[in-house]
Structure 1
Amino acid sequence: MSSRLYSTLLKPKKKLTLLSKKTTSGTTLTKPARTRFAPSPTGFLHLGSLRTALYNYLLAKRTGGDFLLRLEDTDQKRLVKGAEQNIYDSLKWCGLKWDEGPIIGGPHEPYRQSDRSQIYQQYTDRLLESGHAYRCFCSKERLDGLRESAQRLTPPTTVSYDRNCGNLSREQSDLKASNGEEFTVRFKSENHYPKFTDLLHGSLDLQPQIHKDDIRYDDYVLMKSDNLPTYHFANVIDDHLMQITHVIRGEEWLPSTPKHIALYRAFGWNEPEFIHIPLLTSTKDKKLSKRSGDIDVTNYAKRGILPEALINFVALFGWAPKKTDGNSEIMNLQELVKAFEIDDLTKGNAKVDEKKLFFFNKHYLQQRIAREDVEIFEKGYELLKEESRSEISKVRSDELLKLVGHNLTTVNEIVNYNYLLSDSVDYQTEHAVKFLTTIPKETSISILSHFTTLTIDTDISNLIAECVNAGNNKKDIFQVLRFALIGSIPGLKIPELIQFLGVESAQKRIVDSIKFLE
């Protein structure tokens, strides 16, 4: 079914809520939700998947329920080396701890679909016995031909199968299978899918596009010829057996939802509640590319983004918490859990603007620096050591981070202040060269001569006052001192610079700058 077709059916409806209406005694929750995050290890965890995981986590924790992790790894050809471990590491880094899943186990293990083949075979047999499924022995060439002919119809359709093998008797099908003929197993779909309710989009009636003169059937594959299940089959079986109550996933899965509901009902099961969240787009309204690597969680971590900032950023992609007194968009994970409600989810595509991410990161970074977070100070030290040509002490590294922390958006930017740890000043930088064109050398030397007597007991403000009384412009004084101390690099205040450098180093730099200017 095309996205164009189903999108026209997404008419605004009154949204349902998991939470009851608020009363004077507060919010009363319904029974705990069991949610799951079921990624395919076909790539590293990216922003879209992180948001899906986060919303499922928030809903589970908001209602006192459980958050499960399950690996959907049945598409063996597309598996990426290291992707599974990356999923584990990224979720842990973000603080999203699963209650059941790989590594920790649980009552519904295994939680890796490739380890559940016998389970899927059992339920395949049930559908074959009940007549809700049948074996398909059609060759790839025949199926390709059917798909091509379906595309030539007016209008074209992705529903292409003609149910050729659905007309085989069970005896004929069993004989072909016993003779070793390769087959898949298809679901025998009804002519009309049932309506369903999405907690975000409301009541939906999504039907496959069937040509009135060339009838095809939406008999999708359940089990592939390699005896592995398709996503459509495995996720329904697993969600039922793992007692999932709510499925939060991307809007791209909306067209598949009627297939899944039909499968639930073929087994006589109740389907979970569905919540399909909007796509993530760039600021130019283009769908984010998963393949570029720029939106991988790992990449953000390498760029110095903190997990609490990334989680805060991602939470607002399609969720607008209610405004209250003192309300702020800045929320840690515990605050997000407390505030999360399905009613506050939004339908429009969510634009990913990293300006907001850096705003959050600066806030959380300053919090960490203020409480002298060991991890941040260690990270700053490691970065400075990698960048520096000379030996750097941990003490000086920590002092530098405290000094410039209010200017940093990410801890990675600490290397931009490496010059403060150098024993000498580079007077040939762009900033320094520009300074040399603004104030005559004679004036600079005259100003600097007032500061050559700088000692530990000297009040720098007194020396500046003396220099002003000698007829010098205060603005020029600060510019000249900045040139002498750090080569005119803007940012820090002169008293802060002298305090950090130390009087001895500051005086040496002043003397060296005079020699350079002479």
Structure 2
Amino acid sequence: MSDKIRVRFAPSPTGPLHIGGVRTALFNYLFAKKLGGDFILRIEDTDQNRYVEGAEDYIVEALDWLQIPFDEGPGKEGDVGPYRQSERKHLYREYADMLLASGNAYYAFDTAEALEKLRNDYEAKGETFSYDAKNRDSLNNSLGLSEDEIQQKLDAGEDYVIRFKIPAGESLQFRDMIRGGMQIDTSILDDKVLFKSDGMPTYHLANIVDDHLMAITHVIRGEEWLPSLALHMLLYRAFDWQAPKFAHLPLILKPVGKGKLSKRDGDKMGFPVFPLEWKTEDGSIYNGYREDGYLPEAVVNMLAFLGWNPGTEQELFSLEELVNAFSLERVNKAGARFDPEKTKWFQHHYLQEMDEGVLTAQFKKYVEAKGFSTENMEVGVLVSLLKERATFMEDLWEQGHFFFEAPTNYDEKAAKKAFKDDTADILANVRDIVEKVEDFSAAELSKQVKGWIADQEIGFGKVMMPLRLSLVGEMKGPDVFEIMALLGKKEAINRIQSAINVIKS
């Protein structure tokens, strides 16, 4: 086995990548990078019936978006490729034959019908059929046949599978890096199929062979693979190979109630469970974190805390800081509850931290995509005014859309309160003051208008409420004088005049 740390993320291209899979990829990446190792992507596509077009590209794009790219994999060939199992088919039969030759595997000629009958017979007695050490000698397999009889069946073209021969009555002990020491009685294990009648390996054989040939030192994968660990350890022993170290990550749980996080939870509570948007052949669209406006840094920071903690109070980590802080010793055994609100908290932080020039450019693009011009607007100043209360790009628009589109009506409840008999005259005075201001800055506008309010001894609200309504259409937005300065003299006066016209009509 290699001295260099080598880990792999090995998804099946059967649809969009769930965030549970992304979390597995992230933890593999962090572990490898902290120890100067390699992060490998292997596409486990031996089940061609479930293969979905575009799923592999989706996986690669998601890893790139999250800035956790692989070192070796499809399109980044290393010395141990190819990295798609469908392109490695020729390898697996050789290793199945090695197990047959050593007596660790056997041919099973049982038909699907015969096995179905056995299952039904057992069920009728209230029992469960298992192809295992207790009954394998009485079934239709090569264990009780001579070499000649086996060859005759093979020559006759009888369908068969190759099963692993689980050693009987053994107490198997092994260690998981997260869960510690474990023990299992082999009598509860069944003889799993390693090679199918269609000439393809099952997951168990292909996975072990590939991990060995790719010199994988640590297998970091989801808890759902824990029941397969005993078989995989026995396979390593049967091949006389050194097994990698294993670490099984805790499940990601629903935000409420029990059970594993699913797409339905996201649909129900309005958050994505996929990194990128996914469109199915039937036209269904699954939301993605990217398309919903999340920043990759926020998603990575959120995923890191699903099952891991740094042992300190720190919650905000750059990718580099995560690499330095990460260790499998601080990964929990218990399931990690997903918190959509915490994800938004991370998103808010990273939007505030974002380079203002980049944020401004992105907001300009967002506004223009909605069909509005940004030509006469100081978008950078606007962004700095609005961003404190924004979590997503759409929040900036929600808070500042009125800068790009003048109000065509006024909030009914606010207008009833703000627009009185003397309001048109008050606004006309404000309009005249604004028209005379030469230095059209927020500070100068504030000085002139507030000075006039003080001189006239008018209630502050009598002026400021209708003024805000005339500019915005609602009682929201930043400082009124900042709004006027950004709108410019001509637009500010036009809006005040429009409000006067409405009040007078």
Q: What SS does structure 1 have at the residue aligned with 2:247?
A: strand
Change in Cα spacing, 1:47 to 1:427, as seen in structure 2 (3 Å) is: same
Change in Cα spacing, 1:159 to 1:313, as seen in structure 2 (3 Å) is: farther
Equivalent residue for 1:56? 28
Q: What SS does structure 1 have at the residue aligned with 2:107?
A: strand
Equivalent residue for 1:486? 472
CA contact (8 A) 2:216 2:244 kept: yes
Match of 2:88 among 116, 137, 149: 116
Equivalent residue for 1:433? 412
C-alpha separation in 2, matches of 1:382 and 1:199: 47
Structure 1 residue 442, shift from structure 2 partner: 1.9
* Superposition RMSD in Å: 2.4
Change in Cα spacing, 1:434 to 1:86, as seen in structure 2 (3 Å) is: same
Asked if residue 107 in structure 1 is aligned to residue 79 in structure 2, the reply is yes
Structure 1 residue 202, shift from structure 2 partner: 0.8
Please give the per-residue CA displacement for 1:219-242, whole angstroms capped at 9, x wherever unaligned.
101011111111111111111111
Asked if residue 220 in structure 1 is aligned to residue 189 in structure 2, the reply is no
Structure 1 residue 501, shift from structure 2 partner: 1.1
Moved more, 196-205 or 465-474: 465-474
Equivalent residue for 2:273? 295
Asked if residue 131 in structure 1 is aligned to residue 131 in structure 2, the reply is no
Structure 1 residue 328, shift from structure 2 partner: 2.3
Structure 1 residue 468, shift from structure 2 partner: 4.2
Moved more, 292-301 or 438-447: 438-447
C-alpha separation in 2, matches of 1:394 and 1:219: 73
Asked if residue 286 in structure 1 is aligned to residue 259 in structure 2, the reply is yes
Change in Cα spacing, 1:465 to 1:40, as seen in structure 2 (3 Å) is: same
C-alpha separation in 1, matches of 2:57 and 2:123: 40
C-alpha separation in 2, matches of 1:122 and 1:313: 43
CA contact (8 A) 1:447 1:480 kept: no
CA contact (8 A) 2:16 2:55 kept: yes
Equivalent residue for 1:380? 363
Counterpart residue type for residue 379 of structure 1? Q
Asked if residue 196 in structure 1 is aligned to residue 179 in structure 2, the reply is no
Equivalent residue for 1:15? none
Change in Cα spacing, 1:308 to 1:120, as seen in structure 2 (3 Å) is: same
Change in Cα spacing, 1:125 to 1:468, as seen in structure 2 (3 Å) is: same
Structure 1 residue 420, shift from structure 2 partner: 2.7
Moved more, 185-194 or 146-155: 146-155
C-alpha separation in 2, matches of 1:414 and 1:110: 46
Structure 1 residue 141, shift from structure 2 partner: 1.8
Q: Gaps spanning 5+ residues in structure 2: where?
A: 277-287
Please give the per-residue CA displacement for 1:17-47, whole angstroms capped at 9, x wherever unaligned.
xxxxxxxxxxxxx964211100111111121
Equivalent residue for 2:397? 415
Structure 2 length-normalised TM:
0.87
Equivalent residue for 1:175? 152
C-alpha separation in 2, matches of 1:486 and 1:127: 76
Please give the per-residue CA displacement for 1:73-103, whole angstroms capped at 9, x wherever unaligned.
1111111111000001100111112111110
CA contact (8 A) 1:450 1:463 kept: no
Moved more, 461-470 or 279-288: 461-470
Counterpart residue type for residue 347 of structure 1? K
Counterpart residue type for residue 300 of structure 2? I
C-alpha separation in 2, matches of 1:93 and 1:123: 37
Equivalent residue for 1:330? 316
Equivalent residue for 1:4? none
Moved more, 277-286 or 291-300: 291-300
CA contact (8 A) 1:246 1:273 kept: yes
Structure 1 residue 271, shift from structure 2 partner: 1.0
Structure 1 residue 154, shift from structure 2 partner: 5.8
Asked if residue 361 in structure 1 is aligned to residue 347 in structure 2, the reply is yes
Change in Cα spacing, 1:312 to 1:433, as seen in structure 2 (3 Å) is: same
C-alpha separation in 1, matches of 2:125 and 2:237: 31
Match of 1:321 among 301, 310, 314: 310
C-alpha separation in 2, matches of 1:394 and 1:156: 75
CA contact (8 A) 2:252 2:336 kept: yes
Equivalent residue for 1:497? 483
C-alpha separation in 1, matches of 2:381 and 2:157: 73
CA contact (8 A) 1:94 1:311 kept: yes
Equivalent residue for 1:214? none
CA contact (8 A) 1:150 1:160 kept: no
Counterpart residue type for residue 383 of structure 1? Y
Structure 1 residue 118, shift from structure 2 partner: 1.4
Change in Cα spacing, 1:41 to 1:482, as seen in structure 2 (3 Å) is: same
Q: What SS does structure 2 have at the residue aligned with 1:425?
A: coil
C-alpha separation in 1, matches of 2:125 and 2:216: 39
Match of 2:210 among 238, 241, 250: 238
Change in Cα spacing, 1:515 to 1:414, as seen in structure 2 (3 Å) is: same
C-alpha separation in 1, matches of 2:235 and 2:275: 34
Structure 1 residue 61, shift from structure 2 partner: 0.7
Match of 1:452 among 425, 431, 440: 431
Q: What SS does structure 1 have at the residue aligned with 2:418?
A: coil
C-alpha separation in 2, matches of 1:274 and 1:152: 39
Q: What SS does structure 2 have at the residue aligned with 1:255?
A: helix
Structure 1 residue 148, shift from structure 2 partner: 4.3
CA contact (8 A) 2:66 2:297 kept: yes
Structure 1 residue 517, shift from structure 2 partner: 1.0
Structure 1 residue 484, shift from structure 2 partner: 0.7
Equivalent residue for 1:21? none
Equivalent residue for 1:405? 387
Q: What SS does structure 2 have at the residue aligned with 1:274?
A: strand
C-alpha separation in 1, matches of 2:163 and 2:316: 49
Moved more, 135-144 or 335-344: 135-144
Change in Cα spacing, 1:296 to 1:444, as seen in structure 2 (3 Å) is: same
C-alpha separation in 2, matches of 1:208 and 1:449: 90
Q: What SS does structure 1 have at the residue aligned with 2:15?
A: coil
C-alpha separation in 1, matches of 2:462 and 2:171: 78
CA contact (8 A) 2:221 2:247 kept: yes
C-alpha separation in 1, matches of 2:129 and 2:475: 63
CA contact (8 A) 1:147 1:160 kept: no
Aligned pair count reads 473
Identity, % of aligned positions: 37
Q: What SS does structure 2 have at the residue aligned with 1:143?
A: helix
C-alpha separation in 1, matches of 2:415 and 2:121: 75
Structure 1 length-normalised TM:
0.85
Equivalent residue for 1:307? 296
CA contact (8 A) 2:360 2:380 kept: yes
Moved more, 399-408 or 312-321: 399-408
CA contact (8 A) 2:377 2:486 kept: no
Change in Cα spacing, 1:366 to 1:505, as seen in structure 2 (3 Å) is: same
Moved more, 277-286 or 63-72: 277-286
Equivalent residue for 2:283? none
Q: What SS does structure 1 have at the residue aligned with 2:175?
A: strand
CA contact (8 A) 2:132 2:166 kept: no
Change in Cα spacing, 1:150 to 1:501, as seen in structure 2 (3 Å) is: farther
Change in Cα spacing, 1:150 to 1:62, as seen in structure 2 (3 Å) is: farther
